[in-house]
């Protein structure tokens, strides 16, 4: 089946498993009817809830036709998804956009906040699949312990010495009290090996992290996902997700952007656009 098929209309796909992930968040495993190759962490799919609407969702994992999506209950569409049962059908379009594309021979520093962890979880899995895995630091932040996604999974990987996991919470209920940006800055002050920063989550957090990373010569690049921005079509036609002033479209030129690209996006960390196209402060 040609790739354009996936972009043109939803693939009706069956939910095969559902798991509570953390407070108000569930992970759905969805069996796609066709195998899709060369999926990269950081790409998105458009998830269609029949009778409701279609939404962009970051991919948490993909293997053997099984798509993994972790979704927070936040509005009409996600509430409708939470009513779905194993065996029910949803529509999937994608995969869209550019992923993280990590280089080899560097220290990988991953920082996520809130519900930005799904693409970073996928990135961890892809990094660990390499024969000679590089050092992987994972900084995760949330308001409190019950909002930390994949906590047990990351703790187990840390115990197995596959990653170095550094959780933090705003209220100090688990890990360090504070924000992932502080942990990343402390690490960069301790190391001088070439490193790459990857981030997903609240855009203000990523902007602070971006400004921190620019102060360290050891940071070779920063790759950050703007997947929380408003997107409509998913394949660059409608222009709803264009960023100022360079005209890059998040759905096809992103959602992951390099440090060079982020430096050109003047609205990064400042404002986004609503469904109507009006500017709103971040």
pLDDT in tens, 168-187: 999 999 999 999 999 999 99
Residue 216's closest CA among 240, 242, 184? Answer: 184
In angstroms, the CA 214 to CA 210 distance is 6
The topology (CATH level 3) of 3-96 is Elongation Factor Tu (Ef-tu); domain 3 (2.40.30)
Q: Which residue has the tokens 């690049």?
A: 221
pLDDT band for position 272 (cuts 50, 70, 90): confident
pLDDT tens figures, 39-73 = 899 999 999 999 998 989 999 999 989 999 999 98
Q: At what angle do helices 151-159 and 117-128 cross, to 10 degrees?
A: 30
In angstroms, the CA 101 to CA 41 distance is 8
Report CA 93 to chain centroid distance, whole Å.
17
Residue 61's closest CA among 125, 148, 154, 111? Answer: 125
In angstroms, the CA 272 to CA 204 distance is 11
Question: Is the omega angle on the peptide bond into residue 245 within 30 degrees of 0, that is, cis?
Answer: yes
pLDDT tens figures, 84-128 = 999 999 999 988 999 999 999 999 999 998 789 999 999 999 999
Burial code (b: 16+ CB inside 10 Å, e: under 16) for 108-119 equals bbbbbbbbbbbb
pLDDT at 253 over 50: yes
153 SS3 class: helix
Q: What letter does residue 119 receive in the DSSP assignment?
A: H
pLDDT tens figures, 131-173 = 877 899 999 999 999 999 999 999 999 999 999 999 999 999 9
Q: What letter does residue 278 receive in the DSSP assignment?
A: -
Domain ranges for the chain, please list them: 3-96
pLDDT, residue 8, reads 64
Quote the percentage of the chain above a pLDDT of 70.
97
Rounded mean pLDDT of the chain? 92
Q: What letter does residue 145 receive in the DSSP assignment?
A: G
Strands (E), the chain: 11-22, 25-31, 44-49, 53-58, 61-63, 66-72, 89-96, 107-113, 136-142, 164-169, 176-177, 195-200, 219-225, 256-257, 271-273, 279-281
């Amino acid at each position: 089946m040609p790739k354009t098929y996936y972009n043109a209309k939803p693939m009706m796909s069956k939910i095969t498993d559902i798991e509570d992930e953390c407070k108000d968040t569930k992970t759905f495993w969805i069996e796609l009817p066709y195998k899709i190759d060369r999926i990269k962490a950081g790409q998105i799919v458009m998830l269609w809830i029949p009778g409701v609407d279609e939404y962009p969702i970051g991919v948490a994992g993909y293997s053997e036709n099984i798509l993994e999506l972790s979704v927070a209950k936040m509005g009409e569409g996600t509430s409708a998804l939470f009513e779905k049962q194993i065996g029910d059908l949803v529509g999937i379009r994608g995969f869209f956009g550019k992923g993280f594309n990590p280089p080899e021979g560097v220290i990988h520093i991953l920082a996520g906040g809130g519900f930005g962890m799904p693409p970073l979880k996928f990135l961890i899995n892809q990094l660990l699949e390499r024969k000679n895995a590089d050092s992987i630091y994972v900084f995760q932040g949330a308001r409190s312990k019950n909002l930390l996604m994949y906590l047990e999974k990351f703790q187990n990987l840390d115990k197995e010495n596959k990653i170095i996991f550094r959780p933090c919470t705003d209220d100090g209920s688990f890990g360090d009290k504070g924000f992932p940006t502080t942990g990343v800055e402390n690490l960069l002050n301790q190391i001088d090996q070439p490193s790459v920063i990857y981030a997903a989550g609240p855009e203000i957090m990523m902007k602070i992290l971006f400004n921190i990373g620019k102060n360290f010569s050891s940071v070779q690049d920063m790759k950050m996902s703007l997947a929380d921005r408003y997107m409509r079509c998913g394949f660059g036609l409608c222009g709803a997700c264009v960023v100022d002033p360079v005209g890059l479209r998040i759905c096809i030129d992103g959602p992951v952007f390099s440090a060079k690209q982020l430096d050109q996006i003047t609205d990064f960390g400042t404002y986004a656009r609503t469904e109507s196209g009006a500017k709103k402060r971040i």
